Structure 1
Amino acid sequence: MSVETRASGARDVHELDVRVSGGVVRGIREADIEAWRGIPYAAPPVGALRFRAPAPVLPWQGVRDASRHGAVAPQSRRGQFLGAPSAIPRSEDCLNLLVLRGADARTGANAARGDDLAPVMVFIHGGAYSVGSVREVPHQGMDFARNGVIYVAVSYRLGALGYLDFSSYSTPERPFESNLGLRDQVAALAWVRDNIRAFGGDPGNVTVFGESAGANAVTTLMTVPAAAGLFHRAIAQSPPPNALYLPELTARWAGQFLELLSSALDNGSVEATSHEDAAALLTGAPVDALVAATNALQLRTPDEDPGTLCLCPVIDGDYLPERPLDAFKHGRAHRVPLIIGTNDREGSLFTGRLDILASTPPRIRAIFARTRKKTRKAIKAEYPGLPARRAAADFAGDYSFWYPSIKVAERHARYAPVYMYRFDIAPRLVRLAGFDATHGLELFALFDRMNGWFGRTMTVLGGRRAFLGAGRRMRRWWLDFARTGDPNAQTGAVSPAWPRYDAESDDRYRLTLIIDEVDRVECDPRGERRVAWQEFVPHV
């Protein structure tokens, strides 16, 4: 079927031709949505560019078909996290993005003259920096586009190719940069700045948002100097803001990875080999071997280094100068308005193959190893029965997601508007299964995923109407925030108003929106638990 036939509709197909960095891309109209998929925002990071910072887009001749998604980053369905189905093309050439806009929006030609530019929302997917892509949920983002924003979703390098730090193996002939996935995200935001006007988007009104690892990307980008000015608002849904580490630890993981890779390829040990040999191994290894070695490293990390994630940004002192929590504390983060929040029981999801958090007795003991006895006792008192399963899941979720998010909120609120939420609503079947409002559940509400088989199954015992209603309210808040920096700007009948978070004012003390069947605002929810965590060593 020709591009012209697929894109037929009220507009002539050539009105969906847009000139961007590299050349012209031709989009497709699907009912009330216009989409451009698989647009490259950087050169393919292959060959000599493997393990290198993203390079400028390579130009192409003629009109590039943007009706289909690009390849997803290499990933596995057999690791800790369920990767993309095997039928979906995977490739190291994965630096592409998706642009959606409502079909009734102005054409790029009119918008380029500056008329009625739309706010832009850039979504960074989660997946523990191991799996995921822009094509994970086919219709995700369309409801945002229908409501007047330009929606962009970004694919970036995952696994060892994006989130292991091999910079200690650099040689003058073969350098390895750090923070490659993070650099990819900055490159994508720079592409948005340079190109989004052609789609009718406002490069001066960009909101970056993400969930889980994507939210870690958001809070980290807020402290990356190279990202300054590339976005103007931020939304972090269930971030693990402290899941990034110093070079001493990330270099050890890189060495362990090389051992696993070398063993898998029958190359013997690389422990005592030269940097040149390590570089040759990394640059010459088949991509499937890189993915397999990544899976093996991920499986051992939760017990060898409890409370950490081996796929992570690295505090290299250069591209990422300091721990983000320290940057937030001292006002060195980009001073943009922020929505940040977590779900009621983040940790309950992480069982079975997802068992990565500090939820076993040995892991919990390791977490407390550097903490004073008085502080340990106070924290344990907040989780009766610890290390019993439910208490351990809540402890682990709070350690990874909730408490460091509180620290980001209270520190950033001194310098910019912050809106804090907690997502509490869960369908009855999800509660009966013992998950409650767990990690990632809010995505089904926010992106209206409830018509798929999993969404319908979740509500087979009831709760569908209330859950859908919570999703509609969330979208209004997110959209208002993207338009103005204030989630209350145009919500009208939505009640209650969402107050700013303030950790220092007596009359507005830590006011938090609780998203539930009936929304409410609470002052310092779980305040006693927050105080107990206050002196915990890794977060101070």
Structure 2
Amino acid sequence: MIRPLLAAVLLTLTCAAPAWAADNPLVEAPAGRLEGRMSGEVRAFKGIPYAAAPVGDLRWAPPRPAAHWDGLRQADDFGPACPQFRAPPGGIYWAPPPPMSEDCLSLNVWAPAKAGPKDSKGAPVIVWIHGGSFAGGSSRETLYEGTKMAGRGVVVVSINYRLGVLGFLAHPELSAESPDGLSGNWGLLDQVEALRWVQRNIAAFGGDPGNVTIAGESAGGLSVAYLMAMPSARGLFAKAILQSAYTTSAPELKQASNGTPSAEASGQALAARLGAADVASLRAIDADKLIAKSAFAYFPFPTVDGKLIPRQLVDTFDRGEQAPVPLIAGFNSGEIRSLMILAPKTPLTAGAYEKTIRDNYGDLADSFLGLYPSRDMGESILATTRDGLYGWTAWRLAAKQTAAGQSAYLYIFDHSYPAADSAGLHAFHGAELPYMFGNINRAGPYWPAIPQTPGERAMADAMVDYWVSFATTGRPKARGAPDWPAFGRPGYFMAFQDVPKVSADLLPGVFALHESVVCRRRAAGTQPWVWNLGLAAGVIPPKAEGC
């Protein structure tokens, strides 16, 4: 903590205090001079470059800090999104396609009007990492607008990072270009560079670089877990929030493992599919064409390379080598209701369901069927995937961080409203986002409409309070709502239902079952985890020592 605090002091001494007019706030940051816009009592600065454009020979290379600019830079609009597949309209997560460019490594800052380097320590900082399966999304999405949070006294930063094949491609030639013999993980390296920018610059906006919370949902939550595991990110943040993260097995850089080809082999296979004889040929392909041709032929994911990501996340957390910071981790009760592609097809009969489970789970089948019975196969299938992918991850993160001597706070989001329930989407994947950002009036065109009622506003107020309080002190509290106890030995958790409610021992027996399955797969080393669950599990390896 000493180095970030020293950085804050030095920036306070060397940076001119920000001056702003009523409509056009000005900031003199180490990166350069910026002019933003006011939104009530919040200053907004958008589209700030934190790294050089990764084009040409810089495509598939570590990010380089953006050059200092001279003169006054307008920061009144979001930067372009990183190149990604343009989905057709209709899905609940759909938004109008944003401008896109490979020159996309920018971030946005929302800061309280009264926060500035004149304050002794500065305001807490929340850095938001968007989701989208490492293939889509951007910091400009309306749900992530930071005004409501910043109005509670924190500085909110949202970032772009490289996606898809441009963000995660590994290839032997790319590894040969690296002094460390590594490739892939470009998007995660972007996130680290953004955090370094925050350390250098956020004091000029009134933020405390010694009190940074990294937060994200879905692939953003998984990114937070990887940042906790990356030595190069150590010291760049003080707290972590992981919403609907999933600690699946990751490919290794140079060798097949856990039933998955090496990342370099996957990169070579994609190059062959694209007719590219070498990396130079890949770099010559237009970004839009590259994304279009690889969108359904390449699965972007972080790579275990032995240095940037030393080992599988479960191994890092088992060894207690993750960042020693407090965390919030949780998931939604209806995660899979909007992600039906992850749910196996329901069998025609209960007997067929039970037979497949017994064939797959062997001596664990009775435990599985007790938790996920055949009498309601549809709901059991949804719960299996939810619990093994998102629930087990959140529970495990809370348990491992508690074992490491840090405060951990577990939640389940089980709140819904008529439009979502009538669409069969009770507490679906991402449903918490409008509430924790305080933006229940800013959901997308196909999002089930949230009623603007006192009850919905109260839930949003409580969640914003909990998140801001945690970022400020490491302890989540909310006005007019129960204190959120740390996970601890009883396994306390917060259930966001009609109102926030505290309980203990979430889903008894569920996480122990999934932990046993993952333990056996890790010991065997021949199967990935945890996409393959329930009816799609295949034969689970026999019991191993320690499992």
Shorter-chain TM-score category?
0.7 to 0.9
1:101 aligns with 2:111: yes
> Counterpart amino acid of 1:192?
V
1:498 aligns with 2:484: yes
Q: Deviations over 1:228-252 (max 9, x none)?
A: 0100000011111225332333334
1:417 maps to 407
1:334 maps to 323
Compared CA separation, residues 522 and 169, structure 1 to 2 (3 A): same
Q: Deviations over 1:327-355 (max 9, x none)?
A: 1111100110000000112111113xxx2
Compared CA separation, residues 106 and 401, structure 1 to 2 (3 A): closer
Q: What is the distance in 2 between the residues matched to 1:530 and 1:380?
A: 14
Q: What is the distance in 1 between the residues matched to 2:205 and 2:359?
A: 52
**Displacement of 1:535 after TM fit?**
1.0
1:397 maps to 386
**Displacement of 1:38 after TM fit?**
1.0
**Native 8 Å contact 1:256 1:297 kept in 2:** no
2:155 to 150, 155, 158: 150
Q: Please, which runs of 5 or more residues in structure 2 have no aligned partner?
A: 1-18, 348-352, 522-528, 530-546
- TM (norm. structure 1) is 0.83
Q: What is the distance in 1 between the residues matched to 2:244 and 2:171?
A: 28
Q: What is the distance in 1 between the residues matched to 2:359 and 2:319?
A: 24
Q: What is the distance in 1 between the residues matched to 2:399 and 2:123?
A: 31
Q: What is the distance in 2 between the residues matched to 1:254 and 1:19?
A: 39
> Counterpart amino acid of 2:102?
E
1:85 maps to 96
> Counterpart amino acid of 2:49?
P
Compared CA separation, residues 138 and 518, structure 1 to 2 (3 A): closer
- TM (norm. structure 2) is 0.82
**Native 8 Å contact 2:462 2:479 kept in 1:** no
**Displacement of 1:30 after TM fit?**
3.1
1:208 aligns with 2:214: yes
**Native 8 Å contact 2:337 2:424 kept in 1:** yes
Compared CA separation, residues 192 and 516, structure 1 to 2 (3 A): same
> Residues 433-472 of structure 1 correspond to what in structure 2 (within 5 A)?
433-452=423-442, 458=448, 464-472=453-461
**Native 8 Å contact 2:337 2:382 kept in 1:** yes
**Displacement of 1:123 after TM fit?**
0.5
1:224 to 209, 230, 236: 230
1:17 aligns with 2:27: yes
1:121 aligns with 2:130: no
Q: What is the distance in 1 between the residues matched to 2:94 and 2:497?
A: 31
> Counterpart amino acid of 1:319?
L
**Displacement of 1:358 after TM fit?**
5.0
Q: What is the distance in 1 between the residues matched to 2:196 and 2:126?
A: 14
1:235 to 238, 241, 247: 241
> Residues 378-393 of structure 1 correspond to what in structure 2 (within 5 A)?
378-385=367-374, 388-393=377-382
1:37 maps to 46
Compared CA separation, residues 145 and 472, structure 1 to 2 (3 A): same
1:297 maps to 297
- Residue 98 of structure 1: SS of its match in structure 2? strand
**Displacement of 1:166 after TM fit?**
2.7
**Larger CA deviation: 389-398 vs 60-69:** 389-398
1:27 maps to 36
- Residue 61 of structure 2: SS of its match in structure 1? coil
1:267 maps to none
**Displacement of 1:369 after TM fit?**
12
Identity %: 32
- Residue 324 of structure 2: SS of its match in structure 1? coil
- Residue 296 of structure 1: SS of its match in structure 2? coil
2:495 maps to 514
1:255 to 243, 268, 281: 268
> Counterpart amino acid of 2:230?
V
- Residue 153 of structure 1: SS of its match in structure 2? strand
**Native 8 Å contact 1:76 1:84 kept in 2:** no
RMSD over aligned Cα atoms: 3.0
**Native 8 Å contact 2:20 2:26 kept in 1:** no
1:160 to 162, 165, 175: 165
**Native 8 Å contact 2:143 2:442 kept in 1:** no
- Residue 130 of structure 1: SS of its match in structure 2? coil
**Displacement of 1:135 after TM fit?**
0.7
**Displacement of 1:202 after TM fit?**
0.4
**Larger CA deviation: 185-194 vs 285-294:** 285-294
**Native 8 Å contact 2:387 2:511 kept in 1:** no
- Residue 70 of structure 1: SS of its match in structure 2? coil
**Larger CA deviation: 439-448 vs 226-235:** 439-448
- Residue 330 of structure 2: SS of its match in structure 1? strand
Compared CA separation, residues 454 and 153, structure 1 to 2 (3 A): closer
**Native 8 Å contact 2:212 2:236 kept in 1:** yes
Q: Deviations over 1:14-33 (max 9, x none)?
A: x5132232x32222223332
Compared CA separation, residues 107 and 400, structure 1 to 2 (3 A): same
Give the length in aligned residue pairs: 486
Compared CA separation, residues 98 and 369, structure 1 to 2 (3 A): farther
2:511 maps to 530
Q: What is the distance in 2 between the residues matched to 1:133 and 1:456?
A: 18
1:66 maps to 75
Q: Deviations over 1:133-159 (max 9, x none)?
A: 111117711111111111100111011
**Larger CA deviation: 162-171 vs 38-47:** 162-171
1:177 to 170, 175, 183: 183
**Displacement of 1:89 after TM fit?**
1.8
Compared CA separation, residues 369 and 378, structure 1 to 2 (3 A): closer
**Native 8 Å contact 1:216 1:243 kept in 2:** no
> Counterpart amino acid of 2:307?
D
**Native 8 Å contact 1:167 1:178 kept in 2:** no
- Residue 404 of structure 1: SS of its match in structure 2? helix
1:427 maps to 417
**Native 8 Å contact 1:19 1:198 kept in 2:** yes
Q: What is the distance in 2 between the residues matched to 1:459 and 1:223?
A: 38
Q: Please, which runs of 5 or more residues in structure 1 have no aligned partner?
A: 1-7, 263-269, 271-276, 299-309
Q: What is the distance in 2 between the residues matched to 1:350 and 1:320?
A: 28
2:146 to 141, 149, 171: 141
**Displacement of 1:526 after TM fit?**
0.9
- Residue 337 of structure 2: SS of its match in structure 1? helix
**Native 8 Å contact 1:77 1:85 kept in 2:** no
**Displacement of 1:165 after TM fit?**
2.4
> Counterpart amino acid of 2:61?
R
Q: What is the distance in 2 between the residues matched to 1:346 and 1:453?
A: 17
Q: What is the distance in 2 between the residues matched to 1:292 and 1:349?
A: 24
**Displacement of 1:532 after TM fit?**
2.4
